[in-house]
Amino acid sequence: MRFDTIVLGGGIVGVSVAVHLQQRGLSVALVDLKQPGNETSFGNGGLIQREGVYPYAFPRGLGKLLHYATNRSPDVRYHRNAMFELAPFLWSYWRNSHPAKHAAISRSYATLIEHCVTEHETLAQEAGVSALLCPTGWMKIFRSHQKQDEETRAAEQWRREFDVKFESLDSAQLRAVEPDLDTSLLGALHYPASVFVSDPGALVAGYANYFEKIGGRFFLGDARTLRDSWRVDTGAGQIEAASAVVATGPWSDQVIAQMGYRLPLAIKRGYHMHYGAQSNARLNHPVLDVESGYLLAPMSRGIRLTTGIEFARADAPKTPEQLDVVEPTARSLFPLGKRIDAEPWMGRRPCTPDMLPIIGPAMRHKNLWFAFGHAHHGLTLGPITGRLVAEMMTGRDTLVDSHPFRVDRFQ
């Protein structure tokens, strides 16, 4: 079985790349160990973050660093036995988070973010899954004036620099739109231009179904069997193609290592759990509890609570302590009912130390392409990444400048 290209990875990035290549007349094979949308793309907060022009930076203040060093913070935890291995990545991440560097990085990052909603809307309409995109925006809620003032100043800066839309709500305005939240909250920031996805896994599956509808082929197979020229073993037999795209998210380093590539990719793990709602309570927007670092989102399965960051080895056993820590606080924020899931879900966010994804051709192999490292914004940036990769591979003018995301910036 021969194709023009093989796309490795059935998450939002890989599926989006496959769709855009297939739309441009290439015959495309999409390969993953599971059905599309069943790993990292399944368990996120469901946000398409049009406001996310500044990628999440490493804290630089001494007080904040000392706070996290205790390993008791609800929003960031770490496995001590992984710190030596992660130290080079964290050091580079910290350096790139200097305000001047972070601002420069954001100017490149914003070129992708600018198109995140429109590219999703176009793809969702073509795939017939527009009903999964909820134009409600999302909110950051506040318990302290200090945090409210800090976040408002940041939002005002984003508006000046990148025309990011936001609305500042006082306590009465917040109660009007979210009457079942804790009435002691001081207020919220609402980002109306962002979009909420009520079932991220179903959205990716819908995009994948559209990919097959327009002639693409999906295969169950192991991306780590990729070999030069380009061949992959699948359950239906060996397939080959003139080109290949590695879009396997947190497993991308395993795929490219066998070809001699060592890129600084690290993992931020996270957890979620679904809950019912007590007494017909209703949550109308995803809400981020800024002080405690968790998100509540009204998913189709129930109210999803997603945790912050856990630094650990990618293959380390689950340690969903953050979920247990923030659950009582989440219950005080919103009247959550019983847990719905049998056990917490865990996902892995693939991160680079400069907070920019890796998008572009490999340095030493002809017709090999990379598309991974999207950290917290994989769902947000999937379709625009797919379009950018497809435009580069087919020799067309690109919607955005691909140079900041090139692979060789780490060499």
| pLDDT tens string 73-88 | 999 999 999 999 999 9
Residues 6+ apart with CB under 8 A from 264: 88, 89, 92, 352, 353, 410
pLDDT tens digits for 131-188?
999 999 999 999 999 999 999 999 999 999 999 999 999 999 999 999 999 999 999 9
Range of weakest confidence among 60-69, 331-340, 363-372, 373-382: 60-69
Nearest Cα neighbor of 44 from 304, 357, 385, 327 is: 304
- Tens of pLDDT, residues 83-112: 999 999 999 999 999 999 999 999 999 999
Residue 293's nearest CA partner among 315, 312, 271 is: 271
Mean per-residue pLDDT, 290-311: 96
Question: What is the residue whose two structure tokens read 């500044």?
Answer: 54
DSSP, collapsed to helix, strand or coil, labels residue 349 as strand
First to last CA, the chain: 35
The CATH classification of domain 2-44+201-262+353-410, taken from the options 3.50.50.60, 3.40.640.10, 3.30.465.10, 3.40.50.300:
3.50.50.60
Average pLDDT value over all residues in the chain: 96
What's the pLDDT band for 314 if we cut at 50, 70, 90?
A: confident
Closest listed residue to residue 133, CA positions, set 114, 115, 119, 150: 119
Would you place residue 228 in the very low, low, confident or very high pLDDT band (cuts 50, 70, 90)? Answer: confident
Which structure tokens are listed for 99? 């305000």
Question: Six-digit token pair at 252?
Answer: 């991308």
**Rounded to whole angstroms, how far apart are CA atoms 256 and 353?**
18
Crossing angle (nearest 10°) for helices 99-113 and 83-96: 90
Report the C-alpha gap between 326 and 337 in whole angstroms. 15
Report the distance separating Cα 97 and Cα 345, nearest Å: 29
Spatial neighbors of 283 by CB under 8 A, at least 6 apart, are 178, 180, 181, 277, 296, 297, 298, 303, 334
Taking the C-alpha atoms of residue 82 and residue 382, their distance in angstroms, rounded to an integer, is 29
φ, ψ at 337 (rounded to 5°): -95, -145
Confidence of residue 6 (pLDDT cuts 50, 70, 90): very high
CA 171 – CA 142 distance, rounded (Å): 9
* Nearest partner of 284 among 179, 131, 202, 130, judged by Cα: 179
Of all residues in the chain, what percent carry a pLDDT higher than 90? 95
Q: What is the CA radius of gyration of the chain?
A: 21
Average pLDDT over residues 343-371: 97
- The pLDDT assigned to 17 comes to 98
At 14 the pLDDT is 98
Going by their DSSP bridges, the two strands 76-78 and 309-311 should be labelled as parallel
Least reliable range by pLDDT among 59-63, 199-203, 235-239, 396-400? 59-63
CA atoms in the 13 A half-sphere facing the CB of 262: 2
- Amino acid identity for residue 206 in this structure: G
Structure tokens at 204: 């990716």
Element (H, E) at 17: helix 12-23
Can you tell me the mean pLDDT for 14-18?
A: 98
Please give the average per-residue pLDDT across 336-349, as a whole number: 97
DSSP H or E run through 108: helix 99-113
Q: What is the pLDDT of residue 212?
A: 98
CB atoms < 10 A from the CB of 103, how many?
12
Q: Look at residue 230 in the predicted model and tell me its pLDDT.
A: 97
